[in-house]
Amino acid sequence: MTALKIILIISGALLLWLALIRLIRRFHREPAPSFMGRLLDSDFRRWFQPAAKVIERSGIEPGMTVLELGCGSGAFTTCIARAVGRQGKVYAVDIQSTMLRQVERKLSQPENKELTNIELRQASAYDLPFTDESIDLVCMVTVLQEIPDRGRALRELRRVLKPGGILAVTELLPDPDYPWRSTTVKICQGEGFILDEVLGNLWNYTVRLKKPPPSSSQESFRQAK
């Protein structure tokens, strides 16, 4: 058997597997299982999704308060923490305690001991433990499509984001939950977010949106209260 045939067989099997997984996930959405934590936080994964690109495209800057929703095993958490610097803050949130324990182990390693601006929280995307308008930027990397009720989650993110705050949604094509860019934009705009920019390519993109500032009528109502 030639090398070309082997490659074609492997590629075909991979495509068939991804198609099957996508079909299953259409009817049963849930977070990536914790046993995949090591793969998710691996150099191989970051080769596909370089942390520097995710941070740049998301609009993460020094001094920001960032909510990393669905942090998983922390593939990007420490990089985001270094990007916001000592004056910034990162809330690494995941619904699975087993994932957060993997982040804890990562933070205990000598190369990460200086990072004191990360706070881990176990919470659902539907009920975030943050006050209204307290977050500068929400970063989600291959997470949004894992949430069964995406509309409800996006409304909760709007609540905690400051007016003009950024929602950055990053997706990667090998992910079985991968949506088209237009799908991501439509879902987020449907919950009131304003499109800022779409960055990257078909295989690896970031959609950056903003929470609109309050309208004059909303502001008057708020002041009256």
3-state secondary structure of 150: helix
Whether the CB-CB separation of 100 and 38 falls below 8 Å is answered with no
pLDDT of residue 225: 43
Task: List beta partners, residue 66.
Answer: 90, 137
Nearest to 181 by CA among 160, 162, 207, 159: 207
Nearest to 72 by CA among 52, 101, 45: 101
| Packing angle, helices 181-189 and 150-160, rounded to 10 | 60
- Tokens 């950055």 belong to 168
Question: Each residue of 24-58: pLDDT tens digit?
Answer: 445 445 566 555 555 566 676 677 789 999 999 99
Instruction: Give the strand pairing for 89-94 and 65-69.
Output: parallel
Helices (H), the chain: 3-27, 37-40, 43-48, 51-58, 77-84, 97-107, 150-160, 181-189, 216-224
Chain CA centroid to CA 169, Å: 6
CA dihedral 114, 116, 122, 124 (to 10 degrees): -110
Alpha-carbon gap, residue 185 to 131, rounded angstroms: 26
- Can you list the residues of the chain whose pLDDT is less than 70? 1, 3-42, 44-45, 216-225
Whether the CB-CB separation of 180 and 135 falls below 8 Å is answered with no
Alpha-carbon gap, residue 145 to 187, rounded angstroms: 10
Helices (H), 108-146: none
pLDDT of residue 43: 73
pLDDT of residue 80: 98
